[in-house]
Amino acid sequence: MKMKSVDLSRAGCGPLLAMREAQPKPPKHQVLEHIRAKGAVPRVEIAKALDISPGSVTAFTSELIQAGLLQEVEGRQKETGRGRPRVSLAISREAERVIGIKLSDRTHTAALMDFAGNQIHQASISSDGREVGTDALIDRIGGLVDGLLAETGLERRDIAAIGIGMPGLIDHDNGMVVWSPLLDSRQVPLAALIKSRLSFHTLIENDTNVLALAELWFGKGRAMQSFALVTIENGIGMAFVLNNRLFRGVRGLGMELGHTKVHLDGALCRCGKRGCLEAYLADYALVREAATALHVQAVDLKNPEATMQILLDEARAGNEAAHSIFLRAGRYLALGLSNIMQVFDPERIIISGERLTFEYFYSKGVLDEALAMTLEASRFRDQVEVHAWEDPIWARGAGALALGYATDKAMEAA
């Protein structure tokens, strides 16, 4: 077999730190995931890192090579002495392919990924932001996926699974959309319906959770055991990673920071309840208040993006009313961050999302106020950071969800 030459310094993907749990994954599974995380690694280093005997590593990797999941590669190393470079192991990229999809009220984005977690191709279609029926949403998903496959010359049978991230209350374990602003109905068994219509094994997840997976697999979260992620978009989202895994709550519907209550009998949220944090911080909440800061004719409820930009321009130009809207929203964000610090005590809080272009949401004043509300706040002084991502990485996070499933199925057969 001819070995391929690769750069051993390539980053790989997936968590870099071992899980702390009573029942970890089987050793062979750990070996494969360690190789994926490192990109390419010699057998001796695998044995050392996982505390597995060299003989066991050799046996496991031989089985995984035979199954087509791993391949031997010859690393290009610096010339430090005599002899050939050490043979390393890497993921066989073409062993499986998955698709990750991010659904939103503005754009639906899909990313095609290989078994090593690399993005092969991406595609997107626009969304008009209106609620649609289940059949219409599945049609859009099908059109997006078929377009992606047509551009890459693949067929549906070439895809092991698709992962979908979308806003709302998502029961991941049962593939159920309990509620989403993208759908005009509730309690929708979306994963099963997509599988029936499009013939893909489908996993669905809250969109903030898939962004947390993107951080865990491809971002700064790779080197952290636990962290919280807060997103500021058209809505407010939160995800929590505990011991390298998403923590969803007992029924999978937890971490809904945007729907925690911050005001009794307060402003109306798009979920239908009153007093939610989101009702004071999300795009639609600020657009609703824009009429008090702008001329009424400048407020276009059908085009919140344009209205938000006008509101921001006015605030930067010195319009006190517009400025006060953002300052108030920033104070509510500080309240939400303080609650996270107090309840979860995370290793790090990462703030992300489209609205990070609005400096009012990540200013020093927001963090200072959050710390001022928090007991023993010094522990968080340098533990809050801003990390802006664009749509493709959300889709890659959804792809990581599908890749986890595809890996489990491949390991069952190996």
Specify burial of residue 47 (Cβ count, 10 A radius: 0-12, 13-18, 19+).
middle
Same domain? 73 vs 112? no
The domain of 150 spans 96-212+392-413
Angle at 238 between CA 370 and CA 169, to 5 degrees: 140
Q: How far apart are CA 273 and CA 56, in angstroms?
A: 56
The CATH number given to whatever domain includes residue 37 is 1.10.10.10
- Answer yes or no: is pLDDT of 83 > 70: no
- Answer yes or no: is pLDDT of 3 > 70: no
pLDDT of residue 19: 64
Q: How far apart are CA 350 and CA 388, in angstroms?
A: 9
74 - beta bridge partners? 5, 87
Same domain? 241 vs 358? yes
Same domain? 186 vs 225? no
374: which residues sit within 8 A by CB, 6+ positions away?
338, 341, 342, 380
Same domain? 63 vs 133? no
Q: How far apart are CA 150 and CA 360, in angstroms?
A: 43
To the question of pTM greater than 0.95 for the whole model, the response is: no
Same domain? 28 vs 81? yes
Terminal Cα distance for the chain, rounded: 20
Same domain? 255 vs 314? yes
Contact 100, 118 (CB under 8 A): no
DSSP annotation string for 22-71: SSPPPHHHHHHHHHHHHSSEEHHHHHHHHT--HHHHHHHHHHHHHTTSEE
Q: Hey, what are 91's tokens?
A: 């993921």
**What does the pLDDT look like over 137-194, one tens digit per residue?**
999 999 999 999 999 999 999 999 999 999 988 999 999 999 998 999 999 999 999 9
Point out the domain boundary residue: 94, 112, 133: 94
Same domain? 141 vs 66? no
Point out the domain boundary residue: 39, 70, 94: 94
Q: Provide the pLDDT confidence category of residue 15 given band limits of 50, 70 and 90.
A: confident
How many structural domains compose the chain? Answer: 3
**What does the pLDDT look like over 232-255, one tens digit per residue?**
877 788 999 998 889 988 877 788
User: What does each C-alpha distance from 409 to 160, 216, 223, 377, 403 come to in angstroms?
Assistant: 9, 21, 26, 44, 10
Same domain? 181 vs 325? no
Angle at 351 between CA 350 and CA 352, to 5 degrees: 115
SS3 content of the chain, % helix, strand, coil (to 5): 45, 20, 35
User: What does each C-alpha distance from 196 to 191, 220, 356, 399 come to in angstroms?
Assistant: 9, 37, 38, 20
Q: How far apart are CA 369 and CA 47, in angstroms?
A: 47
Q: Hey, what are 236's tokens?
A: 């407010």
Q: How far apart are CA 147 and CA 139, in angstroms?
A: 12
Point out the domain boundary residue: 78, 94, 110: 94
Q: Hey, what are 213's tokens?
A: 């997976």
The CATH number given to whatever domain includes residue 264 is 3.30.420.40
Average pLDDT (74-79) is 58
Same domain? 241 vs 372? yes
Same domain? 284 vs 254? yes
**What does the pLDDT look like over 16-57, one tens digit per residue?**
876 665 457 899 999 999 999 999 999 999 999 999 999 999
Of 50-54, 79-83, 127-131, 300-304, give the lowest mean pLDDT range.
Answer: 79-83
Contact 93, 157 (CB under 8 A): no
102 - beta bridge partners? 109, 165
Q: How far apart are CA 351 and CA 378, in angstroms?
A: 19
- Answer yes or no: is pLDDT of 8 > 50: no
132 - beta bridge partners? 183
293: which residues sit within 8 A by CB, 6+ positions away?
311, 314, 315, 319, 321, 322, 324, 325
Q: How far apart are CA 205 and CA 217, in angstroms?
A: 16
Helix (H) or strand (E) run with residue 378 in it: none
Query: Strands 119-126, 107-114: parallel, antiparallel or unpaired by DSSP?
Result: antiparallel
Same domain? 283 vs 134? no
Same domain? 189 vs 271? no
Q: How many CB atoms lie within 10 A of CB 89?
A: 24
